[in-house]
Chains A and B, each alone.
Chain A
Amino acid sequence: DSGVTQTPKHLITATGQRVTLRCSPRSGDLSVYWYQQSLDQGLQFLIQYYNGEERAKGNILERFSAQQFPDLHSELNLSSLELGDSALYFCASSAQGGGETQYFGPGTRLLVL
């Protein structure tokens, strides 16, 4: 158990809908990262937050957004969903966000029908 929690574990929805994925980092970690994993693309970095502020963006679509709250939990919002958004979404956390080890949560499996 990494100490990172994610909810829900599974999500099934329809094209065009909007969903929210939630992540709670390990106790004491200030940085949260979101990654997407699909069969053909591997693990792709989406976005990073550090202590409530956006720090870096990766291959995140404009339809996706995220935020980190004062209690340091984070939410990833996916809107206008398409079939191709079906994937595993992982959250990771690290102490400071400065290149130290990232610990991953169990993931949310999203299926868009």
Chain B
Amino acid sequence: EDQVTQSPEALRLQEGESSSLNCSYTVSGLRGLFWYRQDPGKGPEFLFTLYSAGEEKEKERLKATLTKKESFLHITAPKPEDSATYLCAVPYSGYALNFGKGTSLLVTP
């Protein structure tokens, strides 16, 4: 069965302290890996899609990378407004998304 595992479950950073979130997946025939940001009580907000190993995408302080078995979301010099839950997902049956449980990020001033 296709699986998506995210680590760590929770991460606390000081403002400016860079770090990485991990998303490992087991899926036959990857058809894209998606990163979303979710604020409490709100809908997931799309960040990135990666399709092939070696691909990288950047947006402000975030950079997503992809290997054959995992993806990393690198956060450089985070700010308190980056605090959120970060979700990764891969498509499966009918192209619906199979989500990991997320990493809850807290950035303190």
Contact = CB atoms under 8 A, between A and B. Distances in A.
Interface residues of A, number: 28
B41 A101 contact: no
A43 B99 contact: yes
Nearest to A106: B43
Given A90-B43, A107-B42, A102 B97 contact: yes
Contacts of A48: 94-96
A97 interface: yes
A24 B17 CA distance: 40
B7 interface: no
Contacts of B44: 43, 90, 104
A2 B95 CA distance: 19
Contact of A99 (B95, B99, B100): B95
B43 A97 contact: no
A2 B43 contact: yes
Given A101-B34, A106-B42, A56 B100 contact: no
Given A42-B102, A43-B87, A88-B41, A103 B46 contact: yes
Nearest to A47: B96
A111 to B, nearest CB: 13
A42 B101 contact: yes
Interface in A65-91: 88, 90
A45 B96 contact: yes
Chain A to chain B: the 3 pairs with minimum beta-carbon distance, closest first: A56-B94, A104-B43, A43-B99
16 contacts: A33-B97, A43-B97, A45-B97, A45-B98, A48-B96, A55-B94, A58-B93, A88-B41, A90-B44, A97-B94, A97-B95, A98-B95, A102-B34, A103-B46, A104-B44, A107-B43
